[in-house]
């Protein structure tokens, strides 16, 4: 198989990186996070990229990071929350083992908090999170092979369900 063994998508704070690292450990492979790739390449946090260079510039960096990771990485891949906004990315994900990790607004508030340095949640975070999810949920479900809830579950329980859904065997 070419490409990542598992690709995790979903909103900020849903646990893509945490679950991704656990899945990678269980599968005996590596975990890569495209948001971290961008931070490493640019040398500053995503919130600063948004503020200094704008969302459009960040989305360009994100599309390139996803394209590179899909071509180079064979382990577990966690994509940034907005990666699915790009048609190019959704097309590249077609037929891949994509899992949409989801949670509701109450859980999101607990995990992300209302003061976190999330550029898209700076003003009225609850309202903005709901709007982001209204826009993104159909895109997440469009590319996902399965939807897995992270609400009231440990990362281990979420990883177990993903392994079952994708019928992946642990070494």
77 — pLDDT class (breaks 50, 70, 90): very high
The CA–CA distances, whole Å, from 108 to 12, 14, 47, 59 equal 8, 7, 18, 22
The CA–CA distances, whole Å, from 96 to 50, 93, 116, 132, 152 equal 29, 5, 32, 24, 27
Options 1.10.10.10, 3.60.15.10, 3.40.50.300, 2.40.50.140; CATH for 6-165 is: 3.40.50.300
Write down the pTM of the prediction: 0.88
How crowded is the C-beta side of 69, counted as CA atoms within 13 Å? 29
Q: How far from the centroid of its chain's Cα atoms is residue 16's Cα?
A: 5
The predicted-structure confidence for 129-144, as pLDDT tens digits, reads as follows: 678 888 899 999 999 9
Q: Name which residue leads in pLDDT, 103 or 17.
A: 17
Say yes or no to pLDDT of 21 above 60.
Answer: yes
């Amino acid at each position: 198989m070419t490409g990542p063994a598992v690709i995790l998508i979903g909103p900020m704070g849903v646990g893509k990186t945490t679950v991704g690292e656990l899945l990678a450990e269980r599968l005996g492979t590596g975990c890569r996070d495209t948001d971290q790739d961008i931070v490493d390449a640019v040398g500053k946090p995503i919130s600063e990229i948004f503020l200094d260079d704008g969302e459009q510039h960040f989305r360009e960096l994100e599309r390139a990071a996803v394209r590179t990771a899909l071509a180079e990485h064979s382990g577990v891949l966690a994509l940034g929350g907005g990666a699915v906004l790009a048609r190019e990315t959704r097309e590249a994900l077609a037929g891949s083992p994509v899992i949409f990790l989801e949670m509701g607004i109450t859980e999101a508030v607990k995990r992300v908090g209302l003061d976190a340095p999330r550029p898209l949640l700076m003003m009225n975070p609850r309202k903005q999170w709901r709007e982001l999810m209204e826009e993104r949920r159909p895109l997440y479900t469009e590319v996902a092979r399965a939807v897995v809830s992270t609400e009231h579950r440990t990362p281990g329980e979420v990883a177990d369900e993903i392994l079952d859904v994708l019928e992946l065997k642990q070494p």
